Amino acid sequence: MTSVHLVWAHPRTDSLTARTVAAIRHELRRSGVPFTEIDLYRSGFDPRLHEADEPDWGRAKRYSEEVMHLAAQAQEADVLIFVFPTWWASVPAIMKGYIDRVFNYGIAYGRRSELGPKVWRWITPVGETYEEFAAERHADTSMAHVLNEGIARYSGATDSEVVFLYNALGEGLRDLPGHHVQLVEQAVETVREVLEPECVAVG
């Protein structure tokens, strides 16, 4: 059976990001899919890379116990789902710190990499509209390239996609709560699609 590792980041538990995660969690439970989850803010995760987790290019290295535990969660899952707000056309610092520490040399990349092929989904609310963020600034293209190519496929992913949930701030909208419901459903539908057997098998 397909298994999922869910990683998310937002300082507020009443945010659109948190509501999106709650809906994804509900869908995973409804589907009977085994999953692990880490809430980076509430878990006490330290995004700073200290000496114990600095890559050693010349030899196999056992990193800190925290990193080895988090790496094992990722290694055991078939699907990795990351949920976070888009800040400055990128991930929050705490999410970047998770990537720096956990997807380390010998874990996610390098000759001794043990992460293996996975399906990755990056789900991210964007404050701006599609026209502002993508059509005008092309920020979606640069962000997707870094996440899909620079991180996921470099780490062995066979299928990686960034799902932007546009206009989270509701510019020009009269029904912001209704719009948020649609964005959350877009995220849940992404999860439903990625759990299809042919998607995970083909990767």
Average pLDDT, the chain: 94
Question: Residue 123 and residue 144: Cα distance in Å, rounded?
Answer: 11
Residue-wise pLDDT for 57-77, tens only, equals 877 789 999 999 999 999 999
Instruction: Write out the two tokens for 185.
Output: 């459903």
CB 1 within 8 Å of CB 34: yes
Please report which confidence band the pLDDT of residue 202 belongs to, taking 50, 70 and 90 as the band edges.
Answer: very low
Residue-wise pLDDT for 113-153, tens only, equals 778 789 999 999 999 999 999 999 999 999 999 999 999 99
CB 97 within 8 Å of CB 49: yes
Which residues have CB under 8 Å from 6's CB, separation 6+?
21, 24, 25, 28, 35, 36, 37, 38, 81, 83
Strands, E assignment, 55-153: 79-83, 119-125
- Greater model confidence, 200 or 114: 114
Enter the pTM of the model: 0.94
Residue-wise pLDDT for 150-191, tens only, equals 999 999 998 999 999 999 999 999 999 999 999 999 999 999
Q: Kindly state the average pLDDT of the residues 95-114.
A: 90
